[in-house]
Amino acid sequence: MKYVISVIFILVVLAIGVGFYFRIFEDDEKTGDIIIGISVLVSCFIMMPLFIYHRWKGKNLKDYTLSPENIQKMKDKGLY
């Protein structure tokens, strides 16, 4: 999963670079905008959910919420 996310990230960065190349050097703003837009959509709707899933896989959400039990644990440790 880590390698898939890395490859998608590299492809998105390259696509943004190619889009700016088309906009600046080739004077084809429409094509550059399309390439940049598609790469931003891929980063938002494909790469970010994969990254969030990869980072939260196997973790318990109760450990990160402020429940009465966790507040009591913080008080016992002197953190609150």
- Tell me the per-residue pLDDT of 64-75, one tens digit each, with 9 for 90 and over: 888 888 888 888
Domain that holds residue 37: 2-77
Q: Is the dihedral of CA 53, 8, 27, 34 positive or negative?
A: negative
Number of domains in the chain: 1
- Tell me the per-residue pLDDT of 29-48, one tens digit each, with 9 for 90 and over: 999 999 999 999 999 999 99
Whole-prediction pTM value? 0.76
Alpha-carbon distances, residue 69 vs 5, 10, 51, 65, 73 (angstroms):
36, 42, 29, 10, 6
Q: What is the DSSP letter of 43?
A: I
Q: How many CB atoms lie within 10 A of CB 35?
A: 20
